[in-house]
């Protein structure tokens, strides 16, 4: 791997106000590694999850002639780069980790493929059905959407191989994890443009 301080690599000169890559639709793959899971609150209908979010896409303007990946681990550089702008639609709160440093890494392959990973903690809303308690079975989801781009502009899909993985040491006192599954949202979303207009996307 090659790591450069701010300003030393030619790619840095291309980062200022970086627009979205030109490919349409831009293919963005993503997945999770769930580090911890718990605090299911029946009164608030929420649970907490600490996880690593991984994304990958290609930006041909970042092609380079290094023999290996270029590592970006400086937050000042990351802030100048275009990122897919995914968000967690059913999260009540969310935050990124920055102790002792910002918890992320980003690799740029010679062909411009970008691999980005970051750690995030969420408090997620989940409707719990407790009529069968204590023999109840709950299904809770984490909804991930693009904040600004419709499907014709950016196609967000799960990684094809093991998109959701979890720490086998997770131990829930009241629940037993039976499955972690990936699926896709099925519905229309309105992206507001002005007070009286919106874009419709999937």
Write out the H or E segment, with its range, that includes residue 158.
strand 154-158
Question: Total structural domains in the chain?
Answer: 1
Q: Can you give the pLDDT at residue 150? A: 77
Domain that holds residue 104: 2-16+24-201
Neighbours of 116 (CB within 10 A): 21
The pTM (predicted TM-score) of the whole model is: 0.79
User: Taking a C-beta distance cutoff of 8 angstroms, is the pair 26, 82 a contact?
Assistant: no
Q: How far apart are CA 60 and CA 65, in angstroms?
A: 12
pLDDT value for 35: 95
Q: What local confidence, expressed as pLDDT, does residue 7 receive?
A: 47
State the burial class of residue 73 (Cβ atoms within 10 Å of its Cβ: 0-12, 13-18, 19+). middle
Task: Please state the separation of Cα 45 from the chain's center in Å.
Answer: 23
Can you give the pLDDT at residue 6? 42
The CATH number assigned to the domain holding 112 equals: 2.70.170.10
E strand or H helix that includes residue 202: none
- Tell me how crowded residue 187 is: count the other CB atoms within 10 A of its CB: 5
Give pLDDT, residue 201: 53
pLDDT of residue 39: 84
Q: Which pLDDT does position 163 carry in this prediction?
A: 94
pLDDT at 9: 54
Q: Which two tokens stand for residue 16?
A: 């200022």
- 10-residue block means of pLDDT along the chain (202 residues)? 49 58 86 90 88 94 90 90 89 92 94 96 87 74 84 89 91 77 71 59 52
pLDDT at 191: 59
pLDDT for residue 188: 62
Number of CB atoms found within 10 A of residue 200's CB: 9
């Amino acid at each position: 791997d090659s790591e450069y301080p701010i300003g030393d690599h030619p790619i840095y000169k291309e980062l200022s106000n970086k627009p979205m890559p030109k490919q349409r639709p831009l293919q963005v793959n993503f997945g999770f590694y769930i580090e911890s899971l718990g605090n299911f609150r029946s009164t608030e209908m929420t649970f907490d999850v600490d996880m690593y979010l991984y994304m990958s896409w290609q930006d041909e303007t970042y092609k380079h002639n290094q023999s290996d990946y270029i590592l970006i681990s400086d937050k000042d550089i990351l802030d100048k780069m275009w990122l897919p702008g995914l968000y967690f639609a059913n999260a009540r709160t969310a935050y990124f980790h920055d102790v002792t440093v910002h918890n992320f890494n980003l690799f740029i392959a010679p062909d411009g493929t970008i691999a980005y990973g970051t750690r995030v903690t969420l408090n997620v809303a989940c409707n719990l059905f407790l009529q069968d308690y204590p023999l109840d079975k709950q299904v809770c989801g984490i909804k991930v959407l693009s904040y600004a781009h419709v499907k014709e502009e950016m196609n967000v899909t799960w990684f094809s191989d093991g998109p959701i993985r979890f720490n086998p040491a997770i131990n829930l006192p009241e629940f037993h994890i039976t499955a972690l599954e990936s699926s896709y949202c099925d519905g229309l979303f309105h992206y507001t443009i002005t007070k009286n207009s919106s874009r419709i996307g999937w």
